[in-house]
C-alpha cells in the first residue's frame, strides 16, 4: 500500500481508502440496495482492508440511519490506532426539524452521536456532507473549531461543496484563526470529470486533499454493463437501485467503457482496477474511496495501487473521457502564454 499526505497536515493516508456505505441497512428502503452487510461480513471487509495496509476509512451518520457507524465501530475494535476514521454530517438523522443541517446545535449533537456509535473518543476527519444554504457557514465553522479544540475532532473537511463555497470557508477560518478544511471529498471518475474545472485547481492552490467517492460510477466502470444493460443481474448497484444516482452521459460512458476494457485487456486486469489506477494518476488526488460487498472485490480494487498505466493508456483514456473546457478556464488558458516574456519560452 502507498500513502499520500492529507493536505498540509503531515498525516499520511492510504491512497486506497475504504468506504462504509455498504455496511448495514438490511431493512432500509434505500441502503438495502447498497450492500446491507451484517456484522460478520463487515468484520471480514474491515479486516481485509487493514491487513492490506488501508488506514483510512470513511462513513457518514446517515448511512443506514447510523448502523454503518455502529458496525464499523465494532469491526475496528482494538485496532483504533491503525485507522484514520472519517465520518460526515448534515443529512436528516431523525424526524425533528433540527435533526439535520449544519447549525451549532446539530453539529454538536451529531458529533456526540457519531462518537457513541463509532465507540471512539475522537474523529480523525469530520466532514460536512453537503453545503447548508440555511445556516451561515460562520456558525458551522465556529462549532467545528470548538470540537477540534475540545479534542473530539482532529481535522475537518467537506464534501460536495462548490469551489467558491470552499474558498469562502477557508477565508473565514483564516480570518478568525480557526481550524480550516484540510480535505474535500468529491465525485470524480472517467465518466464524470467535472471536478477538474475548479475543484482540482482549488485543491492544488489551497493545499487541500482530494478524496474521491464513487470512482466506478455506481458500478458502471466495472465493465459489468453493456449497451443492453447489466451483464451480471445481481451484482451491480445501478441495476439494483433501478435508477442512476450518479448522472452521466451514458452514450459517452459506453465509449469510455470500450477503451477501458481494451486497456484492461492489455494489462490482463479488471476494468475497475484500471479506472481506479487512472484516478490515482490524476493531479491532486490523495485517496480513492472504494466500497465492497465481498472481500475479493476489495482485494481487486486495492491492487489498482500496483498498476502503472502507460503513457498510451493514459492518453487513450483521457481522449475518450475528456470534458469540454468550461468558461472562464478556456480563455484564461488562451491568455496565459502572453504573460511569459517571449525570450523565456522554452
249's torsion region: left (phi>0), alpha (psi -120 to 50) or beta? beta
**What DSSP line would sit under 189-256, residue for residue?**
BTTB-GGGTTHHHHHHHHT-EEEEE-TTTTTGGGT-EETTEESSTTS-HHHHHSS-SS---HHHHHHH
Q: Is 217 left (phi over 0), alpha (psi -120 to 50) or beta?
A: left
What is the Cα–Cα distance from 314 to 317, expressed in whole angstroms? 5
63 is catalytic: yes
What is the Cα–Cα distance from 294 to 338, expressed in whole angstroms? 54
Beta bridge partners of 89: 128
Active-site entry in 63, 126, 155, 188? 63
Please return the burial class of 276, using the count of CB atoms within 10 Å of its CB with bins 0-12, 13-18 and 19+: buried
DSSP type of residue 336: G
Handedness of CA 277, 291, 59, 42 (dihedral sign): negative
Alpha-carbon distance of 134 to 132, in angstroms, equals 5
Consecutive H or E run containing 267: helix 250-267
Residue for cell digits 453537503? 130
Residues that are catalytic: 63
Amino acid at each position: 500500500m502507498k500513502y499520500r499526505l492529507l493536505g498540509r497536515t503531515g498525516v499520511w493516508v492510504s491512497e486506497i481508502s475504504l468506504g462504509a456505505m455498504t455496511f448495514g441497512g438490511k431493512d432500509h428502503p434505500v441502503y438495502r440496495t447498497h450492500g446491507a452487510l451484517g456484522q460478520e461480513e463487515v468484520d471480514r471487509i474491515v479486516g481485509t482492508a487493514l491487513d492490506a495496509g488501508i488506514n483510512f476509512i470513511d462513513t457518514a451518520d446517515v448511512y443506514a440511519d447510523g448502523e454503518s457507524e455502529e458496525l464499523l465501530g465494532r469491526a475496528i475494535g482494538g485496532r483504533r490506532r491503525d485507522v484514520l476514521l472519517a465520518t460526515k454530517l448534515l443529512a436528516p438523522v431523525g424526524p425533528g426539524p433540527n435533526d439535520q443541517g449544519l447549525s451549532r446545535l446539530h453539529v454538536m449533537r451529531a458529533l456526540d452521536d457519531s462518537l457513541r456509535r463509532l465507540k471512539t473518543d475522537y474523529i480523525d476527519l469530520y466532514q460536512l456532507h453537503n453545503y447548508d444554504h440555511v445556516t451561515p457557514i460562520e456558525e458551522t465553522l465556529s462549532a467545528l473549531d470548538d470540537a477540534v479544540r475540545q479534542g473530539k475532532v482532529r481535522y475537518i473537511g467537506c464534501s460536495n461543496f462548490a469551489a467558491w463555497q470552499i474558498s469562502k470557508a477557508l477565508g473565514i477560518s483564516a480570518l478568525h484563526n480557526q481550524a480550516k478544511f484540510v480535505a474535500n471529498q468529491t465525485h470524480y471518475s472517467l465518466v464524470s470529470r467535472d471536478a477538474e474545472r475548479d475543484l482540482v485547481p482549488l485543491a492544488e492552490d489551497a493545499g487541500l486533499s482530494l478524496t474521491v467517492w464513487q470512482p466506478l460510477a455506481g458500478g458502471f466502470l466495472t465493465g459489468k454493463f453493456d449497451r443492453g444493460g447489466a451483464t451480471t443481474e445481481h451484482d451491480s448497484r445501478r441495476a439494483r437501485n433501478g435508477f442512476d444516482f450518479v448522472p452521466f452521459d451514458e452514450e459517452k460512458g459506453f465509449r469510455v467503457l470500450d477503451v477501458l476494457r481494451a486497456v484492461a485487456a492489455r494489462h490482463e486486469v479488471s476494468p475497475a482496477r484500471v479506472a481506479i489506477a487512472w484516478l490515482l494518476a490524476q493531479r491532486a488526488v490523495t485517496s480513492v474511496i472504494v466500497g465492497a460487498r465481498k472481500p475479493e472485490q476489495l482485494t481487486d480494487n486495492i491492487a489498482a495501487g500496483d498498476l502503472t498505466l502507460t503513457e498510451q493508456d493514459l492518453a487513450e483514456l483521457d481522449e475518450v473521457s475528456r470534458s469540454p473546457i468550461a468558461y472562464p478556464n478556456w480563455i484564461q488558458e488562451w491568455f496565459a502564454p502572453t504573460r511569459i516574456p517571449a525570450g523565456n519560452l522554452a
